[in-house]
């Protein structure tokens, strides 16, 4: 195994099918995500033209924490850093709060549920469009908890408006607890 190298990790690389453009490599195949203006932004040309960057990183990098080291004679590639979308985190936190406050503060659950839903939908779109961001699972959980918080909040609000304001409810309550 003298000259073999492992496949590079996910990241932006010069597009082999279009000079002057970068395409996102997901670690196994090319994706549909491209940066059309790469050459203009960087002042470099596409691979194979004699100027600019090569099609793969030329220098092996040390494996990061928790990543296995490459076998002897092979190069190791570090995957690009990804970050969790803040709106996805916010949607989950807001959805959990919507569920938590439903039993104590009725109007707040009805308000926080839709906020969690909107944050979830927006963050899902951003995460799908930007491969460097993660958080689709958080966004989905935020959507589910937001919907549940909204529905439970509406049900409890209807309960309090219809049932609790009914004079028959209070008459039965008084007979039960005030003999």
pLDDT, one tens digit per residue, over 120-133 is 999 999 999 888 88
pLDDT of residue 1: 43
Q: Using alpha carbons only, what angle is made at residue 22 by residues 17 and 25, rounded to the nearest 5 degrees?
A: 85
Residues 13 and 30: their CA atoms lie apart, in Å, by 9
Instruction: Count Cβ atoms within 10 A of the Cβ of residue 52 and give its class: 0-12 exposed, 13-18 middle, 19 or more buried.
Output: middle
pLDDT, one tens digit per residue, over 132-156 is 889 999 999 999 999 999 999 888 8
Residues 143 and 92: their CA atoms lie apart, in Å, by 7
Token reading at 51: 């100027």
Residues 88 and 140: their CA atoms lie apart, in Å, by 8
Q: 24 has which bridge partners? A: 12
**Exposure on the CB side of residue 95, measured as CA atoms within 13 A:** 23
Token reading at 46: 């596409």
List, in sequence order, every beta strand (DSSP E) within 42-104: 83-84
Residues 136 and 54: their CA atoms lie apart, in Å, by 32
pLDDT, one tens digit per residue, over 33-80 is 787 655 555 554 444 333 334 444 444 444 445 545 545 544 445 556
For the chain, give the longest Cα–Cα distance: 96
Mean pLDDT of 9-24: 78
Block residue for tokens 């928790």: 66
Q: Using alpha carbons only, what angle is made at residue 165 by residues 160 and 171, rounded to the nearest 5 degrees?
A: 120
pLDDT of residue 132: 85
């Amino acid at each position: 195994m003298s000259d073999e190298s492992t496949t590079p990790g996910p990241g932006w690389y010069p597009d082999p099918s279009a000079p002057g453009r970068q395409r996102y490599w997901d670690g196994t195949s090319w994706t549909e995500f491209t940066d059309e203006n790469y050459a203009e932004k960087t002042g470099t040309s596409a691979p194979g033209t004699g100027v600019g960057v090569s099609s793969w990183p030329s220098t092996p990098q040390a494996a990061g924490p928790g990543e296995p080291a490459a076998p002897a004679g092979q190069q190791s590639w570090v995957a690009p850093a990804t970050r969790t979308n803040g709106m996805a985190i916010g949607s989950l936190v807001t959805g959990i709060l919507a569920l938590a406050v439903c039993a104590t503060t009725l109007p707040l659950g009805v308000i926080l549920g839709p906020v969690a839903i909107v944050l979830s939908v927006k963050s899902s779109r951003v995460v799908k469009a930007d491969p460097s961001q993660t958080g689709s699972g958080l966004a989905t959980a935020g959507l589910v908890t937001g919907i549940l918080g909204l529905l439970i909040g509406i049900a409890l609000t209807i309960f309090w408006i219809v049932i609790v304001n009914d004079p028959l409810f209070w008459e039965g309550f008084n007979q039960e607890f005030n003999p």
